[in-house]
Amino acid sequence: MSEALELIRDCEKSGVKVSVSGQNLKIDAPVNLPNSVKDALRRHKADIIRTLTQRPPTIVGRLNTMISAGASFDVSADDFQIFGADNSTETEKQFLTVNKPLVLCTLQQSLLMKYLPLDSIPDYLFEVKERIAVLTDGGEPSPELYFETVRDVTKEWFADVLDEMSDPVSTFIN
């Protein structure tokens, strides 16, 4: 994690809001900041501005950032639980809350691709395409319909993979 991002996170944890106004950092703090924090903000100003103004990361990018900061997810149910999110910012926690179905689908799809045999991936993708074709009568799906279809197919395939992984393995000795 970059020093700028770490500094932003530390500020947010202490109730200090850091934002960009033109080429300046705007700091809203409930109390006067210690000189050491002010110095660190000055020293990393360019990196902080770049961090705050860059294009928002993709869902996978955001999740990877959280995972690299120590978070882990349990996605085995219709919901997900997050562990070790102590280093997560309020923005990240809000992102997870607002985008819960999309985050769950992304995490399940990622795990599905990890454990799905390579020769099954074309079947998974074919099922997504076929369901969309049936639902749209061959037309172009709306983004919402596309997401719902991917989510439903992923959930079914993910459940099947979990079932297969938990099935006891029988060994026969002759």
Q: Which residue has the tokens 């705050």?
A: 52
CB 20 within 8 A of CB 53: yes
Q: Could you tell me if 23 and 88 lie in one domain?
A: no
pLDDT tens-digit series, residues 146-156: 888 888 888 88
Length of the chain: 174
CB 37 within 8 A of CB 43: no
pLDDT tens-digit series, residues 107-124: 888 888 888 888 888 898
CB 49 within 8 A of CB 40: no
Q: Could you tell me if 68 and 131 lie in one domain?
A: yes
pLDDT above 70 (res 56): no
Query: Angle, to 10 degrees, between the axis of helix 3-13 and the axis of helix 45-53?
Result: 80
- Residue 173 belongs to a domain: no
* Domain endpoint, select from 17, 36, 53: 53
CB 112 within 8 A of CB 125: no
Q: Which residue has the tokens 């300046």?
A: 24
Q: Indicate left, alpha or beta for 142 from its phi (over 0: left) and psi (-120 to 50: alpha).
A: beta
Q: Could you tell me if 111 and 138 lie in one domain?
A: yes
Q: Could you tell me if 107 and 83 lie in one domain?
A: yes
- Residue 174 belongs to a domain: no
Q: Could you tell me if 80 and 17 lie in one domain?
A: no
Q: Indicate left, alpha or beta for 15 from its phi (over 0: left) and psi (-120 to 50: alpha).
A: left
Rounded to whole angstroms, the Cα distance separating 149 from 127 reads 9
In which domain, by residue range, is 28 found?
3-53
Task: Look up the CATH number of the domain holding residue 17.
Answer: 1.10.10
- Residue 152 belongs to a domain: yes
- Residue 171 belongs to a domain: no
pLDDT tens-digit series, residues 129-172: 999 999 988 888 888 888 888 888 888 888 888 777 765 544 44
pTM of the entire structure?
0.55
Q: Could you tell me if 20 and 80 lie in one domain?
A: no
- Residue 102 belongs to a domain: yes
pLDDT band at 126 (very low <50, low <70, confident <90, very high): very high
* Domain endpoint, select from 13, 35, 53: 53
- Residue 105 belongs to a domain: yes
What is the number of domains present in the chain?
Answer: 2
Q: Could you tell me if 103 and 156 lie in one domain?
A: yes
Q: Could you tell me if 12 and 90 lie in one domain?
A: no
Rounded to whole angstroms, the Cα distance separating 41 from 46 reads 9
